[in-house]
Amino acid sequence: MSRKNNKPFFDQVEVIDAGAKGKGIAKAPDGRVIFIPYAVPGDVVAVQVLKKRKAYFEGKVATLYNPSQKRAEPACEHFGVCGGCKWQNMAYEHQLYYKQKEVENNLIRIGKVELPYAVPILGSEKQYFYRNKMEFSFSDSRWLTAEEISSDQDLGDRNALGFHIPGMWDKILDLKSCHLQQDPSNAIRTAVKEFALKNNMEFFNTRSQTGLLRTLMIRTSSTGEIMVLIQFYDDLEAERTLLLEFLKQEFPEITSLQYVINQKPNDTIYDQDVICYSGRDHIFEEMEGLKFKINAKSFYQTNSLQAYQLYKITRDFADLKGDEIVYDLYTGTGTIAQFIARKAKKVVGVEAVPEAIEDAKANAQFNTIENVRFYAGDMKAVFNEEFIASNGKPDVVITDPPRDGMHKDVVAQLLKIGARKIVYVSCNSATQARDLALMDHMYKITKVQAVDMFPQTHHVENVVLLEKR
Ligand SMILES: C[S@@+](CC[C@H](N)C(=O)[O-])C[C@H]1O[C@@H](n2cnc3c(N)ncnc32)[C@H](O)[C@@H]1O
């Protein structure tokens, strides 16, 4: 390691892999790993070290000497600043390769489980504009580039509507366009910002917790429906109505226009009242002829096309014959439960968000599915002996927990029940591997299929079939 401008520096290093959170990986001469965000395997670079730890370095590309063959031209003008799509500079086929590798590595290294032949990862048909939900933040302190900070020019308007800069809770990137959600997403965001500025509406200041406008959420569905939700901080009826009425007139295609007045320190709306300004308080998504009602607080997989693939894989892995009791743990709005219901005797769904369970029940009615039961509550509290006695012992369990994976008490309960099969769907193969390790003495992994729900990012979904030994 040499020093340049008094900063530690590695020259001419080759990036050999992609790993933790999508960062490029190289080796320092002493064998320590160097993590390099935005470097692509195959690049030869000079690295400016920014963090030095006992076991590793973290740095940034100072010079790109030799760009990798695996590189691709990023589609978005905000690439490199916005935290959203860190792999836009890697060709899609290589993104898929590194995702599959990460899943297998996690299962083998963390889970220490034996893997069957893993089917190749299922890529996404759409590699841009695949998301059905985006959340943007308003801020009166737009993130400034180094050039802007050092220039003498008047920086003008500092208001922004966009994404948080990675690692900076109070700085927002002012988005010009985003390649993740189909129009009219960009058109709505731009119109809201321009109208708010023209009418001198205050953008939120996170430090002082002041301002009118806080967040904007846009949901689109494959049926063409649109939900827009604006989160206000100040409770100012005249301004609020002005903005909502503008949106209603300008975008008559909005199916559901809603708002929240949130004066607590954080932006989450789960504990807030959502008020419907016009249209319905929900939109519909459709899959294989099934209708799913989605309200502002409901979880719904963000890539609808790939969600369909994910559910088909889950159903194939479960391989139901029609006489089984199936549990769908972490059911959200009961989508998987209903997707498989016609192939099972009975499906029981459990989910923490009561509104999602209300939707799940309503969805089952729309879809005239009668063999499903849904329960709201924290999984580790609900999923107990009494629950199993009253719903029947499951033959098959499908579990799709959040990123943290399953609570150890839930894993313990699964082991106690000893269902014949468990289909474990996960958006975090590291926590999935941890949970699989706890079940390895009793369950053998017989199928693994990774699914790419999030192109241009390192995130990956993974489905594992466990069969009782
Ligand atoms: C990855 S989502 C899966 C949703 C559903 N399977 C689907 O495909 O739409 C995880 C779900 O778990 C729920 N959840 C998170 N923590 C929970 C807990 N402790 N108990 C019950 N549900 C929980 C979330 O609200 C969310 O709906």
| Tokens found for residue 161 | 């509507």
CA 298 – ligand 1 centroid, Å: 10
CA 405 to ligand 1 center in whole angstroms: 10
CATH code of the region 95-127+303-468: 3.40.50.150
Numbered ranges of CATH 2.40.50.1070 in the chain: 133-284
Q: What's the first-to-final CA gap in the chain, in angstroms?
A: 51
- Give me 460's structure tokens: 């990956």
Atom of ligand 1 lying closest to residue 332 CA: 27
Under 8 Å between Cβ of 233 and 206: no
Q: Give the residue carrying structure tokens 């504990």.
A: 271
Ligand 1 pocket test target in 221, 269, 297, 330 with most atoms within 8 Å of CB? 330
Name the DSSP class of 181: B
Q: Check residue 420 and give its pLDDT.
A: 97
Of the listed 76, 85, 178, 427, which one is catalytic? 427
Distance 266 CA to ligand 1 centre (A): 21
CATH topology of domain 133-284: OB fold (Dihydrolipoamide Acetyltransferase, E2P) (2.40.50)
pLDDT of residue 150: 76
pLDDT tens string 356-367? 899 899 999 999
Amino acid at position 29, single letter: P
SS3 content of the chain, % helix, strand, coil (to 5): 25, 30, 40
Beta-carbon contacts of 469 under 8 Å, excluding residues fewer than 6 positions away, are 441, 442, 443, 444
Structure tokens at 8: 């530690």
Here the tokens at position 176 are 């010009």
CA of residue 365 relative to chain centroid, distance? 28
Of 59, 68, 17, give the one whose Cα is nearest residue 34. 59
Q: How far is the CA of 245 from the centre of ligand 1 (A)?
A: 34
pLDDT at residue 5, rounded to an integer:
62
CB 63 within 8 A of CB 35: no
Distance CA 257, CA 278 (A): 5
Structure tokens at 463: 């489905």
Residue for token pair 């892999």: 17
Tell me, yes or no, if 427 is annotated catalytic: yes
Q: Given the DSSP bridges, would you call strands 461-468 and 282-287 parallel, antiparallel or unpaired? A: unpaired
400 in a labelled binding site: yes
Task: Tell me which residue of 402, 362, 404, 397 sits closest to 383, measured CA to CA.
Answer: 397
CA distance linking residue 290 with residue 419, whole number of Å: 28
Cα of 404 from ligand 1 centre, angstroms: 11
Both tokens of 172, joined, read 């927002």
In one-letter notation, the amino acid at residue 20 is A
Looking at residue 321, the DSSP 8-state letter turns out to be: -
Q: What is the CA(307)–ligand 1 centre distance, in A?
A: 15
Backbone angles phi, psi at 339, to 5 degrees: -65, -30
- Which tokens belong to 304? 């609808």
Complex confidence, ipTM: 0.99
* Burial class for 249, CB neighbours closer than 10 Å (0-12, 13-18, 19+): exposed
Q: Which of 106, 103, 75, 102 is closest to 91 using CA atoms?
A: 75
User: Ligand 1 site: residues with CB under 6 angstroms?
Assistant: 299-301, 330-332, 335-336, 351-353, 356, 378-379, 400-402, 427
User: Are 255 and 285 contacting, i.e. CB atoms less than 8 angstroms apart?
Assistant: no
Point out the ligand 1 atom lying closest to the alpha carbon of residue 299: 27
Ligand 1 pocket mutation, candidates 351, 378, 462, criterion most atoms within 8 A of CB: 351
CATH architecture of 2-66: Beta Barrel (2.40)
332 Cα to the center of ligand 1, angstroms: 5
Q: Which residues pair with 161 in a beta bridge?
A: 138
Residue 138: C-alpha distances to residues 31, 89, 210, 237 (Å): 44, 28, 11, 19
In the chain, residues under CATH classification 2.40.50.140 are: 2-66
The DSSP letter of residue 469 is: -
Ligand 1: which of 270, 287, 293, 299 to mutate, most ligand atoms within 8 Å of CB? Answer: 299
> Is 351 known to sit in a ligand binding site?
yes
Closest residue by CA, ligand 1 atom 23: 352
DSSP character at residue 202:
P
Other C-beta atoms within 10 Å of 441: how many? 8
> Which ligand 1 atom sits nearest the alpha carbon of residue 379?
20
Q: Is 358 annotated as a binding residue?
A: no
Pairing type for strands 325-329 and 396-399 reads parallel
Instruction: Report the atom number in ligand 1 closest to the C-alpha of 330.
Output: 12
Ligand 1 atom with least separation from CA of 403 = 1
Which segments in the chain show pLDDT lower than 70? 1-2, 4-7
CA nearest ligand 1 atom 6, residue: 331
**Cβ(270)–Cβ(297) under 8 Å?**
yes
104 annotated as belonging to a binding site for a ligand: no
Per-residue tokens: 69: 């063959």
Take atom 12 of ligand 1 and give the residue whose Cα is closest.
330
Location of each CATH 3.40.50.150 domain in the chain = 95-127+303-468
